[in-house]
Structure formats: structure tokens, C-alpha cells
Structure 1
Amino acid sequence: MKFGSIPIDAAEGAVLAHATAAGERRFRKAHKLSADDVFLLKAAGISEVVAAVLASDDLSEDAAAEKIAESMIHRNIEAKAAATGRVNLHAQAAGIFTVDAAMIDDINAVDPTITIATLAQHAPVEKGQMVATVKIIPFAVSSMLVDSVARICAGGEIFAVNVYQPVRVGVIQTVLPGIKQSVLDKTLRVTEARLARSGGRLTAERRTPHEVGTVAEAAASLARDNDMVVIFGASAMSDFGDVVPAAIEKAGGIVIRAGMPVDPGNLLVLGTLGGKRVIGAPGCARSPKENGFDWVLDRLIAGLDVTAKDIAAMGVGGLLMEIPTRPQPREPLPAPKSESAELKVDIVLLAAGRSSRMGGPNKLLAL
């Protein structure tokens, strides 16, 4: 492809780089000029245009993006029609997005003219949400480059939406003197809402003393009739031999991991009992805000395995937003200022307007 200024007499078949007006007629960017278009431009006194001229082995931006998207192997994802050199790919169901990062990197390393961007690994997605986009940067690219990308895509599944399953979940809440009934009730409501978001269903609850034996008995009972068991301890896990991990083992289960490098969520326990997963929920799971519990719960509901190695790899990006109601915040809250403290703000100006200068109804959406 050649790009630059082209004499108008040689512009037939070229692709305009910029919007161009010829009298009352306006040609949009990326418009392919016909003989009639060239006649109108000449009549308007235009002697040259900035445009791209495709070589015989070039593919147009839309054709290239479409061919790359068609060569991809994926699950529960739909590619939309190509436009402006872009193909967007959307989830066909709610679930957890997984991607072969090495394959994406290999594609993006072929040539800067061909790009693909995706959501983060294990991102939760809703039905219809965009999960990836293929974008061709110039107006055309060599078919050889597109073929190179297609060969990479033939290597296996590039990404997928792992669909949430209608799992049944049993909940255990342990009780110590002084714990409020309202706290337990709120925890149950938050958990029901969290499960509903991903298609899960809370089927049973047991409230037991915070003791190894009673928790083990309740866990064994719930594991027989449910797909998963979640245990909320009245006291957070503070040792691998504490009540929740010890109860999992006493019931005949295995503790896969106690503790995770995600905060909030450090004190999570993950185990298995009778072929069912058991999660010892950290205290932050009583809050609806995102925490490490969500990272594990959502993956399990989507049918993905979660191993000790998987949890160990969650540290990068695992520092999440602080929860205001947290009993022990990471850092102390700033000391309240005295009423006599001098205000730093002298004037507040509220400017009315529609932000229309940037185009569209909202300047934040202008691009």
C-alpha cells in the first residue's frame, strides 16, 4: 500500500485519508474514489488528495479484520460485522473470560498494522458484553501478514467465555457469643445476591457453634446435597489449624490452600469434600464489594478449576479497593480536622452546559 498525496488524475480507486468536500458533496474518510468522484473533485478545483493506494496483494482494512476474526477458535463468543477496520467480539452468555495471552502477544508481534485487544484474564462478563476487538491500523495490509496471523490462530482456542453454571450452594455460618443476628442475616442476603449474579442458588443454611466438630458435621451434610459449600466463620481464620480448615479435614476433606495474595480476601480457605468444593469465606465476603472471595467463587461457578498454584498467581493485581466497614483497615483513617481548621476552598464555580463541544451527548463518550 502506498500512502500520501496523489494527483487527482491518478486518484481513481484510491482510499481517502481525510474527509474531503467537493462543493455540496462531502466524501468521508476511507471512501474509495470512483471515476465520478474524481470528476467532481476536479470540478471543485481540487488538484490532489491524501489517500492510500492498495497493492494487488493487499486486503482492505475490513476484509483483513474479518479474515482474522474468522480464523480464531473460540467458545461462546460472537464476532460482529467488520467496520472501519475493526471486528468486535461479544460474549454470547454470562461467565468468566479466559484468554491465551501468549497467542495474543504473538499476533500483536506480527506487525504493528494488526492489533487485537481483550479483557483481562478471568474477567467476569455479561451476555452481549464486548470481550475482544481486532483492529487494522491502516486502510489496508498485506495478505501475507494476515495469513501469518491466521496460522497463529489455527494453533488452538484463543479465548472463551466459560458460562456460569446453575450450581447449588449450601452455607454454614458459625456463631460466637456477641455476634449479632443481624450480621448473620445480612451475610445471607449478600451471599444470595452474589450467587444470583452468576446464576447460582443458595439452597440451605446451617448456623453452628464455632467449633471444629459441629462445622465438620454441617459441611459433610451440605456437601452431600449441594455442588458447593461456603463457610462463614464467626472469627477469621488465623492459622492453618484453625476451626474452618480443621473442620474440612475432620469431615474427610482436603485443604487446597489457606490464605490468598488478594486483599481484601487474604484469609480465604479453599478445600474439597466428597468431590465438592468448600470455601472458607474471608470476613470481607460479608460485604457486596469485590474481594478475593469473588475471584474464586466466580471461577468455580463457571466450571473452572482453581488450584493452589492459581491462587498463588493472584498477587499481581490482587490489591483491591479498601472496604470502608473493614474491622482492620490497611491504613488508619486520616485524623478528623478541627472545626476551626482553615478552609482551602475560596470559591466554587458550577458551570452549566452540555459538554457538546466535544461532540455527542457526553464528552466522556466522544471517542
Structure 2
Amino acid sequence: MLEKMSVHEAVGKRLAHDITEIRPGEFKGTAFRKDHTVCDGDICHLQKLGKNHLYLLDMEKDEIHEDQAAKMLAKSLAGTGVEWNDDPREGKITLHAAYDGILSVNVSSLAAFNMIEEVMCATRHNHTLVKKGELIAATRAIPLVMKKAPIERAASIAASHGTRTINVNRLQSLKTGLVITGNEVYDGLIEDGFAPVLSKKIHDLGSPVLNVEYVPDDSSRIRQAILKCLDSGCELLILSGGMSVDPDDVTRTGIREAGAVEMYYGSAVLPGAMFLVGYINETPLLGVPACGLFHRITVLDLILPRIMAGEHITKKDLAFLGHGGLCMNCKPCMFPQCSFGKGV
């Protein structure tokens, strides 16, 4: 229950909540913190903020204050790799990455959480690469005072999926083997451009390139190169070229002959429709089509961090990339500060 009084009557009383100040284009933040004791010198400032009346709280046993609610919600939402400060501001708590990694949001759980009346949580896009300390989400209870029951229900939803709703997964350092296919490169007719491009992407994500093998368009030679990389200890394989519908493109045949029993060809992404994800035992294998040589950003840049975060990519994952999977080829390219790959 709230007891209303004028600011003059509130002198000597403690504020029941943070009071926000906004100066357009200049400042938005807390002018007075919760539990601040109002004094005569505050009256003019409060009135300038539009506060001619303040309120005292007299809460029932089944009610909860916004700050306590925010703490309960943050604790339930935050999983592995997520940290937060137990100090709500204006009833809100922000969640941050505890280390470098890839953001993992249970989108269904988040939606169910936000369906509960009087609570909210907003996050950055799922599968976003984040740095230690970066803001990844924020949550709050919307009213100043509310019943405990919906807060407890929302907290239960947020924590009911084992890994909680919001996590940051560390990127693993995977020893990577590159297999560059194509007669034109193998015979020295053109200079290879794939190995430098792929190596940079791998190194930028903190993994080493262990092997680089060059092979002609021969499925048996491709198979041998794959097995050689595996024997040398590679934990991830990336093959370039040979992914199109041209009969000479036999890379997929070589991958299958090397023992891939789980293989998904085709993604709902442009550029990168002829992308391939496969597994030989538990070792992931990625097939990069020719577009990876022309475009700076392709489907590989969406999938590679997820592989290095330990995800097992399936056909469903490739299909769900369709929403947001159309690159607009902007000049200059602004990825990742754009909509590409942000649908799921």
C-alpha cells in the first residue's frame, strides 16, 4: 500500500524508490537513490523533476518491492558465464559477460518469462560474440510494488531449463586442419586465396591452424587429406571449394568416403547456401563454398563461433538461420553491427 504526501510533508522521510532525472541529450540516471532521507534542500530539485508528491510504502506480506524483485529475477536468469551487481538502479539490474565467449539465450524460455505480467528481460541477440564485462541483458519488475507470486513464477521459468535462460559459453581452442581443394590451385595455375582468409578467421577466434593440405579435385585424395589431418590431431576440419552442383566438384564425395556419417549440405543463408556441416565421429567438419573467397562475411562467420563454443550443429540450426540470413552486401560492410544472422 502507498501513502501519498506532498514533498514538504516528506521531509525527514526515506524515499521508497529511486527517482530518475532526464536532461534530453545530456543525462539520464538516478537523481535520488532509494532510502535517501528527504531534506528541505531537496524540495526544489524534486519539484523540477515533476515530483510534487512522494509516497511511503506499507507493504503486505504477499508483496515485494521492485529492487528485491529485480534481484530475484536476475539470479534466476543468470547462468554460466553471466555476472551481475547486486545493486539495482531504478528497479533495474544489468547482466554482463563474465568472460569472452558467445552469448547463449534460451529464446523460448525468455519469451515465456516475458509473458508473465509485471516483469521483463531484454537481451542482446542469441549467438552474439561478447567480451568480458560487456552488457548482455537487463531485467526489472515493472511496478514499484507487486505481488510476490508472479515474480516467483517468472523466476521459476527462468531457472527451469537446467542451464538457465542466459549463458555465455567460452570459445574452445580447436586445432584446425584446412583442406584446400581444386585442380587450379593444386596445379599452381592460380594462387590460393582461401588458406589466408580461413586462417585469419580461425586465429581471430583463438584457435591454431595445425595443417594445411592442398589436393586436386579427386575424392580419394580429398579423403586421404582429411584422414591425415585427423591423424595429426586436428579437432576441426575446414574444406574449401568443391561444394557446388558442378559434376567436377567432388569434395562432398571425399568427405563421405572419409567416414562422415552425419552430413548436412545446404544452409538457409546468402551468401553460403552451399555450405556443409559434417561430423566424423565427434570431429566437426565444415565445407565452405566459393562465395567464402569473394564475400568478407558468409554463413561460416555465423557457424564457426558456435562450433568453437561446443555446439553440435544440425540441419535444424542451418534452417533457422533463414530468418535474418540474407546479407545486404552493404558498402562498407558493418558486420556484426547489422541484421545479418540476427534472426535467432
Give TM-score, length-normalised by structure 1.
0.74
Counterpart in the other structure of 2:256: 249
Counterpart in the other structure of 2:104: 98
Measured in 1, the distance between the counterparts of 2:257 and 2:40 equals 83
Counterpart in the other structure of 1:50: 53
Which one of 171, 186, 197 corresponds to residue 204 of structure 2?
197
Change (3 A) 1:300 1:41: closer
Which one of 70, 74, 80 corresponds to residue 69 of structure 1?
74
Change (3 A) 1:150 1:187: same
Which one of 95, 105, 109 corresponds to residue 89 of structure 1?
95
Report if the CA contact (8 A) 2:263-2:278 is conserved: yes
Q: Give the CA deviation at 1:280.
A: 0.9
Residues 1-367 of structure 1: matches in 2 within 5 Å? 2=2, 6=6, 8-9=8-9, 12-15=13-16, 28-29=31-32, 32=35, 34=37, 37=39, 41=43, 49-57=52-60, 58-72=63-77, 74-81=79-86, 82-111=88-117, 113-156=118-161, 157-177=164-184, 183-184=191-192, 186-224=193-231, 225-233=233-241, 235-238=242-245, 242-254=249-261, 256-286=263-293, 289-322=296-329
Measured in 1, the distance between the counterparts of 2:3 and 2:254 equals 70
Counterpart in the other structure of 1:355: none
Report if the CA contact (8 A) 1:172-1:206 is conserved: yes
Report if the CA contact (8 A) 2:267-2:318 is conserved: yes
Amino acid at match of 2:309: A
Higher alpha-carbon Rg: 1
Alignment gaps of 5+ in structure 1: 21-26, 326-367
Measured in 1, the distance between the counterparts of 2:248 and 2:263 equals 13
Measured in 2, the distance between the counterparts of 1:37 and 1:8 equals 9
Length, aligned pairs only:
313
Offset from partner CA, 1:282-313 (integer Å, 9 cap, x none): 22323573321122221111111101222122
Report if the CA contact (8 A) 1:30-1:139 is conserved: no
Q: Give the CA deviation at 1:246.
A: 0.6
* Secondary structure of the structure 2 residue equivalent to 1:173: strand
Measured in 2, the distance between the counterparts of 1:52 and 1:134 equals 24
Amino acid at match of 1:232: S
Report if the CA contact (8 A) 1:255-1:269 is conserved: no
Measured in 2, the distance between the counterparts of 1:316 and 1:132 equals 22
Q: Give the CA deviation at 1:130.
A: 1.8
Counterpart in the other structure of 1:343: none
Alignment gaps of 5+ in structure 2: 23-29, 333-344
Pick which of 204-213 and 235-244 moved more. Answer: 235-244
Give TM-score, length-normalised by structure 2.
0.78
* Secondary structure of the structure 2 residue equivalent to 1:110: coil
